[in-house]
Amino acid sequence: PHLQFFEGKELRLKQEYFVVAATLQDIIRRFKSSKFGCRDPVRTCFETFPDKVAIQLNDTHPALSIPELMRILVDVEKVDWDKAWEITKQTCAYTNHTVLPEALERWPVSMFEKLLPRHLEIIYALNQMHLDRVAALYPGDIDRLRRMSVIEEGDCKRINMAHLCVIGSHAVNGVARIHSDIVKNSVFKDFYELDPEKFQNKTNGITPRRWLLLCNPGLADVIAEKIGEDFITDLSQLKKLLDFINNEAFIRDVAKVKQENKLKFAAYLEEHYKVKINPSSMFDVQVKRIHEYKRQLLNCLHAITLYNRIRSDPSKSFVPRTIMIGGKAAPGYHMAKMIIKLITSIGEVINNDPYVGDRLKVIFLENYRVSLAEKVIPAADLSQQISTAGTEASGTGNMKFMVNGALTIGTMDGANVEMAEEAGEENLFIFGMRVEDVEAMDRQGYNAREFYERLPELRRAIDQISSGFFSPRDPGCFRDIVNMLMYHDRFKVFADYEAYIKCQGQVDQLFMNPREWTKKVIRNIACSGKFSSDRTIMEYAREIWGVEPSATKIPPPNLPRD
């Protein structure tokens, strides 16, 4: 299994039902004890339930909330079926987080028969109502019924949990504009045609308290010095920094904070990982889960290309770089583990080559986690966001780097699109195929060999990986990676290689001019205000939950409420 591969494990289904059942019993207990469930002492009236309760399905993992709420309303509370269905739909809303089909939850019907027979009955009934409606609107369109069913027929009958979430929710959203468009135009196209008003966008955000104040107090201080402290709870105020883009003192202060963060992180790496890095080098960082679609392999090919250029002309001047790649691999994902092995092997060769010196280092940041992110992100100069266009739903690391004064090299994917829109495309290093180009290539067929034959630097890098140049102990070590890249790469690494290498050259050019680099950094920070989770949550509140957001502080969980 690979690539967030969905594993239909019985234990996982039990866990999902357990958390759903416990949550719903708590929700209903609280609803009944409140003054909203009418005065009837015998039975609670649930008419007002959707006005007082919102259940946001964060991906399909809590999808069982839909049949469980139906079960409680119909079987326990004796609410009429159609009424219960209206209440359920008005209460639930679904956020989609991935477009990769292999990651979607599709549970075998046999597992439901064994563990949740009543929920299976309810799902069948809901599906029947849903298909009756589709059949009435599209008479004779049998294929549409098959595509839209919650039950997938085949060798193993399965329940498509995403379809259950869509029919059982009054709102469905993606997490960046481009992702929400893909949700409407491809993933749930048929459902969008049926109920266009259901579909929304809610672009993700990050909390400025953790991702600016807490992890980068130096930067927060120089910002507050210029525009006051209100930006902490209203990040859009960062726009005020646009007035200081040509302010020499501010440019100097921003650059100074970055240099201090770099020195601090360099010291941390030396202390904990015994690696010495050049703090005046460009800190080029890609930290995220290891996945084929995130294309850490493209980053590796760039590192090898830089290495080969230094080797073939050691006297030439190069912009020094420290390439840091960090992230965890899922336990069963063999390719992801091989990618980590490749990164460390490339590092072993490059970092010990005397011809290279401190001009290039490749570091794998092990055990990447939030606490390490809080250290590396404020120290980064370059943020790599290089997924194949149309595969990264949103990403949030991209936003963390932007607010912390790194420049982004990236594809037009996920929230990168909106980051480029906010800051101006010329203030990010955007490269590579757009979604339309990827779709066109899918139609004509992606031929990796064609790129391999045409691009000498790419061919050389692949031949080195293939021949064991980076794994002299075990020359065949990376044959699975090379074979995948050459013959079945769904994410088209080679197709973007040339544009990526060229774009990295532009990064080098700008980095050699520190003043212009820092001005671009300031513009990026000033335009990052949209990417606050405060804005995101406000939009969920108003446009999905039907409540006005409130800034009232609630007591922390360790303190009793009145």
Over its length of 562 residues, how does the chain's per-residue pLDDT go in tens digits? 455 566 668 999 999 999 999 999 999 999 999 876 666 665 679 999 999 999 999 999 999 999 999 999 999 999 999 999 999 999 999 999 999 988 889 999 999 999 999 999 999 999 999 999 999 999 999 999 999 999 999 999 999 999 999 999 999 999 999 999 999 999 999 999 999 999 999 999 999 999 999 999 999 999 999 999 999 999 999 999 999 999 999 999 999 999 999 999 999 999 988 889 999 999 999 999 999 999 999 999 999 999 999 999 999 999 999 999 999 999 999 999 999 999 999 999 999 999 999 999 999 999 999 999 999 999 999 999 999 999 999 999 999 999 999 999 999 999 999 999 999 999 999 999 999 999 999 999 999 999 999 999 999 999 999 999 999 999 999 999 999 999 999 999 999 999 999 999 999 999 999 999 999 999 999 999 999 999 999 999 999 999 998 888 888 878 876 6
Distances (CA, A) of 152 to 115, 149, 166: 19, 7, 15
Whole-angstrom distance, CA of residue 505 vs CA of residue 510? 9
Catalytic residue of the set 322, 396, 408, 536: 396
Q: Give the domain ranges of the chain.
A: 6-201, 208-526
396 is catalytic: yes
Catalytic residue of the set 89, 119, 130, 288: 288
Superfamily designation of domain 208-526: Glycogen Phosphorylase B; (3.40.50.2000)
CB-based burial of residue 495 (10 Å sphere; 0-12 exposed, 13-18 middle, 19+ buried)? buried
* Residue whose structure tokens are 């005065």: 39
The pLDDT value given to residue 36 = 65
Q: Indicate the SS3 state at residue 177.
A: helix
Could you tell me the two tokens for 21?
């059942």
Of 362, 392, 385, the closest CA to residue 524 belongs to: 385
Phi, psi of 326 (to 5 degrees): -140, 155
Whole-angstrom distance, CA of residue 23 vs CA of residue 29? 10
Catalytic residue of the set 226, 289, 375, 434: 289
Distances (CA, A) of 156 to 1, 143, 290: 18, 19, 30
Could you tell me the two tokens for 558?
């360790």
The pLDDT value given to residue 364 = 98
Could you tell me the two tokens for 339?
């990618």
Rg (CA), the chain: 26
Catalytic residue of the set 361, 400, 520, 530: 400
Whole-angstrom distance, CA of residue 265 vs CA of residue 537? 32
What is the amino acid identity at position 101?
A: P
Sign of the four-CA dihedral 174, 175, 176, 178: negative
* Residue whose structure tokens are 């069913």: 149
Catalytic residue of the set 2, 12, 97, 535: 97
DSSP 15: H
Whole-angstrom distance, CA of residue 289 vs CA of residue 57? 23
90: part of which helix (H) or strand (E)? helix 81-91
Q: What is the 3-state secondary structure (H, E, C) of 207-262?
A: CHHHHHHHCCHHHHHHHHHHHCCHHHCCHHHHHHHHHHCCCHHHHHHHHHHHHHHH
* Cα atoms found within 13 Å of the Cα of residue 380, Cβ hemisphere only: 31
Distances (CA, A) of 77 to 32, 46, 70, 73, 92: 11, 9, 10, 5, 18
503-524: b or e for each residue (b if 16 or more CB lie within 10 Å)?
bbeebeeebeeeeebbbbbbbb
207 is catalytic: no
Of 396, 404, 347, the closest CA to residue 379 belongs to: 404
What count of other Cβ atoms lies within 10 Å of the Cβ of residue 389?
23
Catalytic residue of the set 294, 359, 520, 523: 294
289 is catalytic: yes
| Contact between residue 468 and residue 349 where contact means Cβ atoms under 8 Å apart | no
Whole-angstrom distance, CA of residue 441 vs CA of residue 430? 19
Could you tell me the two tokens for 330?
């899922």
C-beta contacts of 343-352 below 8 A and 24+ residues apart: 343/296, 343/300, 345/470, 345/471, 345/477, 345/478, 346/300, 346/303, 346/304, 346/307, 346/470, 348/470, 349/307, 349/469, 349/470, 350/303, 350/307, 351/275
Q: Give the global pTM.
A: 0.96
400 is catalytic: yes
Distances (CA, A) of 126 to 81, 88, 89, 150, 505: 10, 11, 11, 9, 56
The pLDDT value given to residue 413 = 98
Of 522, 520, 530, the closest CA to residue 208 belongs to: 530
**What is the architecture of the domain spanning 6-201?**
3-Layer(aba) Sandwich (3.40)
408 forms beta bridges with 383
Phi, psi of 140 (to 5 degrees): 80, -5
Could you tell me the two tokens for 180?
């929400």
The residues near 460 (Cβ < 8 Å, ≥ 6 apart) are 308
97 is catalytic: yes
Helix axes 334-351, 296-312, angle to 10 degrees: 20
| Contact between residue 209 and residue 533 where contact means Cβ atoms under 8 Å apart | no
Beta strands in 373-419, from DSSP E residues, in sequence order? 382-385, 407-410
492 is catalytic: no
Whole-angstrom distance, CA of residue 311 vs CA of residue 328? 31
